Structure 1
Amino acid sequence: MTLLVVTAVEAEAEAVRAGLPSGHAQVAAVGVGAASAAAGTARLLALAEAAARPFQAVILAGIAGGFAHRAPLGATVLATRSIAADLGADSPDGFIPLDELGFGTAIAEADPTLLGRLRDALPDAITGDVLTLNTVTGTAETAQALRRRFPAAVAEGMEGYGAARAAIDAGLPFAELRTISNAIGPRDRAAWRIPDALAALTRAARSLTA
């Protein structure tokens, strides 16, 4: 399988490359946020197609925040769905998701075959929904609201849904793989464990050779 692995930033890309044999997959940082992830992933897919070397699958990999008691620090997470949690409309009665507005869907399902392969290779990984947010959570109130709205969510990032849309629109299997660097809730940088999460990402990347 010719695999494209996209990350938000170069530090994540380097962590993934450190776990992969040379030449096994193309790994690229495409930028922070869903818009950058969608545009960067789509560009790489189009260039590969034009060069007659198309990719056969896409994985978004990176570090993320984990919901307390669902995905602890250092855990590896596999998304069953990548959900654009803030894509919709505000209203006096609360947030209205894109799906309820009738303008498309904010949910990107992971490819079941690709997800199954990753689950087999990473039997200790936590599976569940991974939220994509333009503004990551920084308060206990927002964390609690997200837990209520998305009871199957285990983590949040900023790129999954964007990369997923690029892959799915190109007709390619997609999956999202995250390692947990911090707990979702009040912003406390002193409690973040980014080096540990990057090291976990390197270990998880070895599964991409399976």
Structure 2
Amino acid sequence: MLRGARSRFGDAEPVERALPGGYPLTSVGPLDVVVAGVGPAAAAAATATALALAASASPGYGLAVSSGIAGGFAPTAPIGSVVVADTIVAADLGAQTPDGFADVTELGFGRVRYSCPAADPVARALREAGRPTAVGTVLTVSTVTGSAERAAELLGRHPGAVAEAMEGFGVAEAASGHALPVLELRTVSNAVGPRDRGAWRIGDALDALAAVYAKLPYATLVG
């Protein structure tokens, strides 16, 4: 994301600073990019810190975006494709019961999903730019899937899932606290299922992500 933004807004001098807690933030053109770390808790903490500091700014932020690489559910989101979340779901936030997994919403004490109103215009812009793009649910997990059985179980509970990652729900929770819409946009580095490190394409996925942000019409992010 940061590399693509620098390419797109080459005339804008990047401004770097450290937020409280040590979270690095870089401003490039219209974007502030925060490196949050791995997992929903780290993502929520970093996002909430950035949003709290920006709360008094004018005009402030219009959208919080969770971005990076992801595992894609084949065949909908093959390696190298872009995924845009229309819904972000915390897939393993809940409890195991004798009848199977129950999320915290079913248990009656929380929420596990957020909708992403910017998904359709962003996906349309990406497709018009020639980027293969899948739109659907992006699952947030704290433990990455490593077996075909686990992949099948997730798809059984979330038939519209296109990818899994580890930070989107944390960003969504922080954004919700500031009444800010959220989006998750990722490129696929591997297939969800059995761990096959030889098939991972992390470098290629990061290059693809940079290309997306170098070309994306930024007006689509905030309407």
TM-score range, shorter chain: 0.7 to 0.9
Match in the other structure for 2:180: 172
Q: Are the aligned partners of 2:86 and 2:120 in contact in 1 as well (CA < 8 Å)?
A: no
Match in the other structure for 2:20: none
The alpha-carbon distance between structure 1 residues 136 and 27, as it changes in their structure 2 partners (threshold 3 A), is same
The alpha-carbon distance between structure 1 residues 179 and 19, as it changes in their structure 2 partners (threshold 3 A), is farther
Q: Which whole-Å deviations, capped at 9, do the CAs of 1:18-74 have from their partners, x for residues lacking one?
A: 454142211111111001111100100111124556212111111000011110000
The alpha-carbon distance between structure 1 residues 154 and 186, as it changes in their structure 2 partners (threshold 3 A), is same
Which of 118, 121, 125 is matched with 1:121 structurally? 125
2-side partners of 1:142 and 1:16: how far apart?
34
Q: What SS does the corresponding residue of 1:90 show, helix, strand or coil?
A: strand
2-side partners of 1:204 and 1:127: how far apart?
15
Counterpart code for 2:146: G
Name the stretch that deviates more: 20-29 or 151-160. 20-29
2-side partners of 1:77 and 1:105: how far apart?
23
Cα offset, 1:117, TM superposition: 2.7
Match in the other structure for 1:34: 40
Match in the other structure for 1:17: 5
The alpha-carbon distance between structure 1 residues 79 and 40, as it changes in their structure 2 partners (threshold 3 A), is same
Cα offset, 1:96, TM superposition: 0.6
2-side partners of 1:204 and 1:98: how far apart?
34
Which of 73, 82, 89 is matched with 1:76 structurally? 82
Alignment of 1:1-210 (within 5 A): 13-21=1-9, 22=12, 23-52=29-58, 54-110=60-116, 112=117, 114-123=118-127, 124-205=132-213, 206-210=215-219
2-side partners of 1:99 and 1:200: how far apart?
35
Q: Are the aligned partners of 1:17 and 1:27 in contact in 2 as well (CA < 8 Å)?
A: no
Q: Are the aligned partners of 2:76 and 2:162 in contact in 1 as well (CA < 8 Å)?
A: yes
Cα offset, 1:119, TM superposition: 2.1
Structure 1 vs Structure 2: percent identity of aligned residues? 48
Q: What SS does the corresponding residue of 1:56 show, helix, strand or coil?
A: coil
Q: What SS does the corresponding residue of 1:178 show, helix, strand or coil?
A: strand
Match in the other structure for 1:7: none
Q: Are the aligned partners of 1:18 and 1:202 in contact in 2 as well (CA < 8 Å)?
A: no
Structure 1: any 5+ residue segments left out of the alignment? 1-12
Q: What SS does the corresponding residue of 2:67 show, helix, strand or coil?
A: strand
1-side partners of 2:212 and 2:202: how far apart?
15
Q: Are the aligned partners of 2:87 and 2:137 in contact in 1 as well (CA < 8 Å)?
A: yes
Q: What SS does the corresponding residue of 2:87 show, helix, strand or coil?
A: strand
User: Size of the alignment, in residue pairs?
Assistant: 196
Counterpart code for 1:196: D
Scaled by the length of structure 1, what TM-score is found? 0.88
Q: Are the aligned partners of 2:119 and 2:135 in contact in 1 as well (CA < 8 Å)?
A: no
Q: Which whole-Å deviations, capped at 9, do the CAs of 1:98-140 have from their partners, x for residues lacking one?
A: 1110112101111x2x223312311242100000000010111
